[in-house]
Chain A
Amino acid sequence: MNRKLAVAVMVAAAAGSWAAAQTQLNERKAAAPDGAVEISNVSGSVRVIGWDRGEVEVTGTLGRGSERLEFSGAPGRTVVKVILPRHAHDVDGSDLTVRVPAGSRLEVDTVSADVEADGLRAEVEVETVSGTIRVAEGPSGVRAASVSGDVEVAAAGPVRAKSVSGTITVRGASRTFEAASVSGAIRATVGTVESAELETTSGSIRFEGDVAKNGRLEAKTMSGSAVVTLPASLGAEYTVKTFSGDIDNELGPAARRTSEYGPGRELDFTTGDGGARVRVTSFSGSVTLRKR
């Protein structure tokens, strides 16, 4: 029993020392309702929440080994930046919660820190190396890029999402978006798009939504599969091509071979009044057109 007690005391002491090594943050600064907020962090997390006050608030913890938090700028531009010592080793991540005026333009850069943004109305731009990105619906436009982290975006305005190997997920009411990856999958579950481009090298593509009259949907993959799900009632011109993959079509006629001897297949057909354009191109991946 005494032994258990000793262990418990040691654990509590270690936890206390850990907590002491971290710096608690609680700072505020006046900010314009439509200003810019720039946030940089290396590891840990960044959570940005839009609110209706004319100030930026930073709470959370500055990781052990960090030099300081830079919290500067004029009301039109606020900078929140975790500063590390030069040649820093063994630095713990910083977890920041930043409340900003909901109309702020937001720029966030991290290395491995995960980024979440919620309750924002203006443009949001996030870049990270290995962190995940999640932007909740509301911004008038989103640009999000990661090397290996997953990207999940919902926006009312245009979206540009890129990841090298992470999965990209686009949701919400965005009528214009571009999503590109090398090996990461691309998933889009959206409303009615006017212009959507999905491009990957070896990742798979999955699109479910609708295309506006005179709108355009383009999906391009080299070796990944593409599944495009659209309403049967959509009036569109479809162009589907694959060099060596298969085409499975629930929305119209079967694909035909492009050559008597080669493996290629293609499919051109029109539904309804043909106002929208749907183009799916694959080199070796299979293409499936499904009815929603």
Chain B
Amino acid sequence: MNCTGARDRLDECDAEIAARGWPTDVETHLRACPGCRAHADELRALLVRAACLPREAEPARDLWPGIAAAIAAEDAPRSFALGASRRRLLATAAIVVAAAGVALVAGVRIGRQQPGEVGPRAVRASAGGDIDEAAREFERARGALRATLLERRASLDPRTLEVVEENLRVIEASAAAIRRALEERPGDAGLGALLTAARRQEIELLQQATQLPGRA
């Protein structure tokens, strides 16, 4: 078994299998391959953490108001000044997107299980919750950033704005095509990863656009 085969098999495993032990042929490969061993260990940790999640849980603290406030504070048109505050905001929003991406990919992976081959209910339930929450978080981030961009339209250079909007359309068109493909192939991990990448790119472009210096 090569690495690709081993990783495909690992992707099909659920928390129960991860806790009990990988299939024998996979384990044989893992003993000889440190890279896949590390991957398997990460996957096991993820699956076990997911299995331990409650079906529903309120976050200890809603992070979104802080993020939105930071975006609003950064939003005010200003003279050309870039620096640490901008990077902090980008880092904060990147965490939201990264979390959404992890949940989406994990969700797709778990979603690949066939009926009758399912793992613990908690895994599926919590993963579903994570995906929904990630999707909501993404929509909130996108909505806030698009609103900010809309408010700043007049202050931005029209040619730059045109580039940004054209590229947002490119990303949106790609995401829509991938979503249609996912309807045909639900649970396709490759398509899920592409969709996550498209969403991440959209958020990053919106962040970049909302931080552009205004016209003098």
Q: Report A-chain residues with C-beta under 8 Å of the C-beta of B3.
A: 237, 274, 277
A110's nearest neighbour on chain B, judged by CB, is B80
Q: How many residues from A make CB contacts under 8 Å with B?
A: 42
Count, A-B residue pairs, CB within 8 A: 110
Q: Mark A229-250, 1 if CB is under 8 A from B, else 0.
A: 0000000010101011000000
Complex: how many Å from CA A180 to CA B208?
Answer: 13
Complex: how many Å from CA A170 to CA B160?
Answer: 24
B163 touches A147 (CB 8 A): yes
Q: Report A-chain residues with C-beta under 8 Å of the C-beta of B170.
A: 182-183, 201-202
Is residue A3 within 8 Å, beta carbon to beta carbon, of the partner chain? no
Known: A222-B178, A223-B174, A274-B2. A164 touches B80 (CB 8 A): no
Q: Report B-chain residues with C-beta under 8 Å of the C-beta of A281.
A: 190, 193-194
A180 touches B177 (CB 8 A): no
B166-197 residues at the A interface, CB under 8 angstroms: 166-167, 170-171, 174, 177-178, 181, 184-185, 190-191, 193-194, 197
How far does the Cβ of A175 sit from chain B's closest Cβ, in whole Å? 17
B198 touches A111 (CB 8 A): no
B212 touches A129 (CB 8 A): yes
Q: Report B-chain residues with C-beta under 8 Å of the C-beta of A270.
A: 2, 4
B160 touches A147 (CB 8 A): yes
Is residue B24 within 8 Å, beta carbon to beta carbon, of the partner chain? no
B63-121 residues at the A interface, CB under 8 angstroms: 79-82
Is residue A80 within 8 Å, beta carbon to beta carbon, of the partner chain? no
Complex: how many Å from CA A109 to CA B80?
Answer: 9
B212 touches A182 (CB 8 A): no
Is residue B157 within 8 Å, beta carbon to beta carbon, of the partner chain? yes
How far does the Cβ of A86 sit from chain B's closest Cβ, in whole Å? 7
Is residue B213 within 8 Å, beta carbon to beta carbon, of the partner chain? yes
Known: A165-B167, A237-B4. A199 touches B208 (CB 8 A): no
Is residue B205 within 8 Å, beta carbon to beta carbon, of the partner chain? yes
Is residue B216 within 8 Å, beta carbon to beta carbon, of the partner chain? yes
Known: A147-B212, A165-B167, A277-B3. A262 touches B174 (CB 8 A): no
Q: Report A-chain residues with C-beta under 8 Å of the C-beta of B171.
A: 182, 201
Is residue B164 within 8 Å, beta carbon to beta carbon, of the partner chain? yes
Is residue A26 within 8 Å, beta carbon to beta carbon, of the partner chain? no
Known: A109-B80, A201-B170. A164 touches B2 (CB 8 A): no
B163 touches A201 (CB 8 A): no
Complex: how many Å from CA A124 to CA B214?
Answer: 25
How far does the Cβ of A211 sit from chain B's closest Cβ, in whole Å? 13
A239's nearest neighbour on chain B, judged by CB, is B4
Complex: how many Å from CA A287 to CA B81?
Answer: 41
Complex: how many Å from CA A241 to CA B164?
Answer: 29
* Contact with B216, one of A84, A109, A244 (Cβ below 8 angstroms): A84
Is residue B59 within 8 Å, beta carbon to beta carbon, of the partner chain? no
Q: Report B-chain residues with C-beta under 8 Å of the C-beta of A148.
A: 159-160, 163
How far does the Cβ of A77 sit from chain B's closest Cβ, in whole Å? 12
Is residue A214 within 8 Å, beta carbon to beta carbon, of the partner chain? yes
How far does the Cβ of B94 sit from chain A's closest Cβ, in whole Å? 13
Complex: how many Å from CA A86 to CA B174?
Answer: 41
Q: Report B-chain residues with C-beta under 8 Å of the C-beta of A55.
A: none
Is residue A130 within 8 Å, beta carbon to beta carbon, of the partner chain? yes
* Contact with A164, one of B35, B181, B208 (Cβ below 8 angstroms): B208
Known: A127-B82, A182-B171, A222-B194. A268 touches B205 (CB 8 A): no
Extra contacts, 17 of them, besides A130-B159, A202-B170, A222-B177 (Cβ < 8 A), are A111-B157, A111-B213, A148-B159, A148-B163, A164-B167, A199-B201, A201-B174, A222-B178, A223-B174, A237-B2, A237-B3, A239-B4, A243-B194, A264-B185, A277-B35, A283-B191, A283-B194
18 interchain pairs, CB-CB under 8 A: A127-B82, A129-B157, A129-B160, A130-B160, A147-B163, A164-B163, A164-B164, A165-B166, A182-B170, A182-B171, A183-B170, A201-B171, A201-B174, A237-B2, A243-B191, A243-B194, A262-B184, A281-B190
* 7 interchain residue pairs of minimum CB distance: A222-B174, A182-B167, A109-B82, A88-B216, A148-B163, A268-B4, A202-B170
Chain A contacts to B: CB under 8 angstroms: 40, 42, 84, 86-89, 91, 109, 111, 127, 129-130, 145, 147-148, 164-165, 180, 182-183, 199, 201-202, 214, 220, 222-223, 237, 239, 241, 243-244, 262, 264, 268, 270, 274, 277, 281, 283-284
